[in-house]
Amino acid sequence: MAQNFLACDREQELLLPPSLREWLPEGHLAWFVIDAVAQLDLRAFYAGYRADGHGRAAHDPAMMVALLLYCYAIGERSSRRIERRCVEDVAVRVICANQAPDHTTIARFRQRHERALGELFGEVLALCAESGLVRVGVIAVDGTKVAANAAVQATRDYEQIAREILAEADAVDAEEDERFGDARGDELPAELSTAQGRRGWLREAKRRLDERRAEDARPIPKTRPERLKEGKRRLEEEHQVECDANADYEAYRARGVMKDGRRFGRPPNAFQPPAVPTGKINITDLDSRNVKTSRGWVQGYNAQLVTTAEQIVIAAEVNVDSPDFGHLEPMVTAARIELGRAGVEESPAVVLADAGYWHQVQMERLVSDGMAVLVCPGSCAGALAFQRAAGLEPGDERVLVGETSTLPYAVRITGPATINVFLKLETAVFLAATPPAGTERLLGLVRDVWPAVERAESVFQTTLQNGNPVIHPAVTLLNAGLLERTGGDFLFYEEGVTESVGRLIEAVDRERLAIAAALGVTVLSEPEIGMRQGYMTEHNYSTGYSRAPGFLGIKAQSELDHRYLTEDVGWSLILFTDLAAKLGVPTPVMDSVIQITSVVLGRDLRGEGLRTLATLGLDGLSPEQLAAL
């Protein structure tokens, strides 16, 4: 008897016409994209084609939109690779109904309809809202650096661009002399042929410059000479803006009176704008900038997103600023605008953002709208610092401000645009609000997103439960020689924590626990909280860290001037010892760590007093009043 296999005859013709519906399972993403596109308003795409049917037939815009959305959703950006998928990928063949637009057609469709494609974001958001997917009680704002299709080496300053333009001009002149002889070419237009006309035209052009640059999303020139000229033009524009801004500032200071009516102090330092532009621009991608990432500098952009707890993107913007500073309010505003367009009446109640977004003026405007603020993690009295910066008194009930004792996730960057979430905490993320009466409300807002949150007695419990000031300075200082010699090429916990290091960690921890006891708040020891959260498996201060599953593979920082000292000592231990002095608790070990850190960094951290009871506006409160915050 012959072996039994299913027949595989590639020469067999189909007896019946094939049905695309049979090619993919019903729940495939391609069907979802097709159905979603059918619900979108595509009139902006169809408006660009002749209504009389004349001319060569074009691919249906609905099919092209579905093709791009699907391919972008699965991470495929190249027009050539999309063309290949139109032949090789079953899902793409279903979307295209077995048509195969070439890469030029795909690229030209994207370029022709770039604005309309961008506006589809609001349409998709509206569909999500109608489906009940958009819940905006809690939204998160974050940014990531995106590399441009340009090398850092292609960045030029003004003089380099000028030299290259002159060199190319010499070559062009030689070629045109041979072609045209003595002929000059076109004359200037009449309106520019006189000095008066030129001045009037330039004056009007400067007035419209900002508006035009914002609205005119012109494509990057294709040829290198054109990009050089465009780069030179942009540098000159930016230089002019700098000169004008300086002149305006000098005129403002010359008045002698501030906007609030107060008089200025000493005159400003003299400043003379440079005679030529001093900035740099990349001549491959003129819009990109050299932006800083955690792994160094990259030629690219800073992409900003706002998402809901269900990972629905409700706003997206791209800029060329390295820091996230100053982008919180614009992103929240963009989210509100997009939600309004999508018909979502609910307003965000809590915005999650990391410390890089801190901007005092923007924060004041956001909280004035009634938005709750959660500082995560508080990093030692972050909620109280926010209140102070926003001009609120301790315990002010007009604005709900809270903080957590730690992050709800253990995350490390492992490569460009790559992170590893190696621990998701399931418990012991303590949360408190000020005033304390608002803690339950804040818990209710975030518990669905972070089920690990637990109620804390006060913001001083979350402050003192922060373990970073206990661990990081001890390990860093006792490994300072190794760190400087290797540039941090060792494992911070596995190799950096020994028995002697563990003894210093324990001594600092004991003083922290004594401060908490004197204040009357409950704080767990570092090994105890580490075991509850899942970081550690041993209740001790040495191998408890060096063998901790939650700390495996974490490399040391590359230098001593790092947040493990500047923040965990300069902000946190300074505050701990200030609070201890208020309570009459001796802290000789913490005092020693502060002194040694000051010597190592060449700074007077205690003298700087970056975060103390006085800077928080709490130095006049009694211990009982502090505990009640």
What pLDDT sits at residue 474?
Answer: 96
Higher local confidence (pLDDT), 159 or 463: 463
Q: Which residues pair with 455 in a beta bridge?
A: 431
Q: In the structure encoding, which two tokens stand for residue 167, read together?
A: 């060199």
3-state secondary structure 372-389: EEEECCCCCCHHHHHHHH
12, with CB counted inside 10 A (0-12, 13-18, 19+), is exposed
Q: Which residues pair with 317 in a beta bridge?
A: 304
- Average pLDDT value over all residues in the chain: 79
Residue 277 has a CB neighbour count (10 Å cut-off) of: 22
Task: State pTM to two decimals.
Answer: 0.59
How do strand 280-282 and strand 155-157 relate by DSSP bridges? antiparallel
Average confidence (pLDDT) over 156-181: 60
Q: Say if residues 613 and 515 touch (Cβ distance below 8 Å).
A: no
Residue 286 has a CB neighbour count (10 Å cut-off) of: 19
Judge: domain 371-627, CATH 1.20.120.350: no
What pLDDT sits at residue 332?
Answer: 85
Dump pLDDT digits (tens) for 177-190. Answer: 565 565 443 333 34
What pLDDT sits at residue 263?
Answer: 67
Which of 148-162, 175-189, 234-248 is predicted least confidently? 175-189
Residue 399: alpha-carbon gap to chain centroid: 25
pLDDT > 70 fraction of the chain, expressed in percent and rounded: 79
Answer whether residue 221 shows pLDDT above 50: yes
CA gap 366, 348 in Å, rounded: 11
Residue 555 has a CB neighbour count (10 Å cut-off) of: 15
327, with CB counted inside 10 A (0-12, 13-18, 19+), is buried
Q: Which long-range contacts (CB under 8 A, 24 or more apart) does 208-214 make?
A: 209/237, 213/237
Q: Which H helix or E strand runs over 431?
A: strand 429-434
Active-site residue list: 472, 568
CA gap 467, 591 in Å, rounded: 17
Q: Which H helix or E strand runs over 241?
A: helix 224-254
Q: Quick one: DSSP state of residue 569?
A: I
DSSP helix/strand/coil, 143: strand
Q: Quick one: DSSP state of residue 280?
A: E
Q: Quick one: DSSP state of residue 65?
A: H
For residue 548, give Cα distances in angstroms to 125, 209, 339, 494, 574: 43, 58, 44, 8, 28
Average confidence (pLDDT) over 186-206: 37
Average confidence (pLDDT) over 246-260: 66
Q: Which H helix or E strand runs over 138?
A: strand 138-147
Domain boundaries in the chain?
Answer: 20-131, 153-184+191-282, 371-627
Q: Say if residues 376 and 403 touch (Cβ distance below 8 Å).
A: yes
Dump pLDDT digits (tens) for 224-239. Answer: 777 777 777 777 777 7
Higher local confidence (pLDDT), 617 or 342: 617
What pLDDT sits at residue 178?
Answer: 64
What pLDDT sits at residue 201?
Answer: 34
Higher local confidence (pLDDT), 55 or 463: 463
Dump pLDDT digits (tens) for 72-126. Answer: 888 887 888 889 999 889 999 988 888 888 988 888 888 888 888 877 777 777 7
CA gap 542, 497 in Å, rounded: 6
What pLDDT sits at residue 179?
Answer: 59
Dump pLDDT digits (tens) for 564-620. Answer: 999 999 999 999 999 999 999 999 999 999 999 999 999 999 999 889 999 888 888
What confidence tier does 356 reach under pLDDT thresholds 50, 70, 90?
confident
Higher local confidence (pLDDT), 457 or 596: 596
Question: How many Cα atoms are found within 13 Å in the side-chain-facing hemisphere of 416?
Answer: 9
Q: Which among 546, 553, 552, 514 has a CA at the least distance from the CA of 527?
A: 546
Q: Say if residues 318 and 121 touch (Cβ distance below 8 Å).
A: no
Answer whether residue 161 shows pLDDT above 90: no
Q: Which H helix or E strand runs over 212?
A: helix 195-215
Dump pLDDT digits (tens) for 291-319. Answer: 777 667 788 888 888 888 777 888 888 87
Dump pLDDT digits (tens) for 497-556. Answer: 999 999 999 999 999 999 999 999 999 999 999 999 989 999 999 999 999 988 888 889
User: Which one-letter amino acid corresponds to residue 36?
Assistant: A
CA gap 421, 65 in Å, rounded: 34
How do strand 418-424 and strand 409-415 relate by DSSP bridges? antiparallel
Answer whether residue 329 shows pLDDT above 70: yes
Q: Say if residues 611 and 605 touch (Cβ distance below 8 Å).
A: no
Residue with tokens 């860093």: 476
Q: In the structure encoding, which two tokens stand for residue 417, read together?
A: 């645009």
Q: In the structure encoding, which two tokens stand for residue 528, read together?
A: 């105890």
Q: Say if residues 304 and 318 touch (Cβ distance below 8 Å).
A: yes
Higher local confidence (pLDDT), 11 or 620: 620
Average confidence (pLDDT) over 7-17: 63
Q: In the structure encoding, which two tokens stand for residue 350, read together?
A: 């809590």
DSSP helix/strand/coil, 313: strand
CA gap 551, 548 in Å, rounded: 5
Q: Which residues pair with 300 in a beta bridge?
A: 147, 289
